[in-house]
Amino acid sequence: MASEEHQGSFIHPMEQFIVKPLFGDGGDVGTLTITNAALWMLLSVAAVAALTIWGTRGRALVPSRIQSVAELMYGFVRNMVEEVAGKGSMAYFPYIFTLFAFILGANMLSMIPMSFAPTAHFAITVPLALAVFISVTAIGFIKHGIGFLGFFWPKEAPGWLRPFLCLVEIFSYFTRPVSHSIRLGANILAGHAVLKVFAGLFAMMVFGGLGALAVLPLAMMVAMTALEVLVAFLQAYVFAILTCVYLHDALHMH
């Protein structure tokens, strides 16, 4: 490359994930400091609230455009909860819809250039997954009492294998919140980092005098952006559907 001396100092792919306070002198971050993470989470909540409130205002028989978007999202999540979580799960539909809408909003807003991706932070995805884990476990114990522990005891397996399978079941149950949260965080983190890597490559080539070749990383960025929009939707969907699966386990025990 023509710009050896610039390498590494151009754009750091992880720099976009730094949480910093928006107001004040950029000092320490307290509990109530408005950081860029807080701002973009608030914006995604506002976007979802605007869509649902505005969309249901008219309640027309022939829906307007915004109403049909809101209805589409509602129907999509409703179908998913009904199909995957099974009978008696409709009581938990608002929670799953909130999770889906918030994650979708945050993921989609983070696709805006120069914005911030709150869902790329484990500090935000881990509490989301832990809330699901704790509430689902609580639902299981409330619904089945101490019998919920039978969930970990595989009755169909041959007798001598059962204790080992029980250990495996317990282990896999406790890795659920780990994979649930890391999946969302890692996917968004990796996607945004890759976008920034190609952006840095593009800038390096343009300023390094390889203008014509810079089309390649630019084309790659366009393709990656399209893929990331898909991933943004898919990860929200996967997070919600896994919540439904865990809920199904708690309600119906396998």
Q: Which range of residues in 46-54, 110-118, 200-208, 238-246 is near another protein by CB under 8 A?
A: 238-246
Neighbours of 192 (CB within 10 A): 23
Angstrom distance (rounded) from CA 120 to CA 189 = 5
Q: Where are the alpha helices (DSSP H) in 145-214?
A: 162-207
Of residues 166-205, those binding another protein (CB under 8 A): 175, 178-179, 182-183, 186, 190
237 forms part of the interface with another protein (CB under 8 A): yes
Nearer to another protein, 80 or 128 (CB): 80
Q: Which range of residues in 1-9, 91-99, 104-112, 240-248 is near another protein by CB under 8 A?
A: 240-248
90 forms part of the interface with another protein (CB under 8 A): no
The dihedral region occupied by 114, where left means phi > 0, alpha psi between -120 and 50, and beta the remainder, is left
Nearer to another protein, 67 or 181 (CB): 181
Helices (H) and strands (E) in the chain, counts: 6, 0
Under 8 Å between Cβ of 85 and 93 = no
- For 73-96, letters b (16+ CB in 10 Å) and e give bbeebeebbeebbeeebeebbebb
112 forms part of the interface with another protein (CB under 8 A): no
Of 120, 201, 221, 241, the one binding another protein by CB under 8 A? 241
Residues forming contacts to another protein in the complex (CB under 8 A) are: 80, 83-84, 175, 178-179, 182-183, 186, 190, 234, 237-238, 241-242, 245
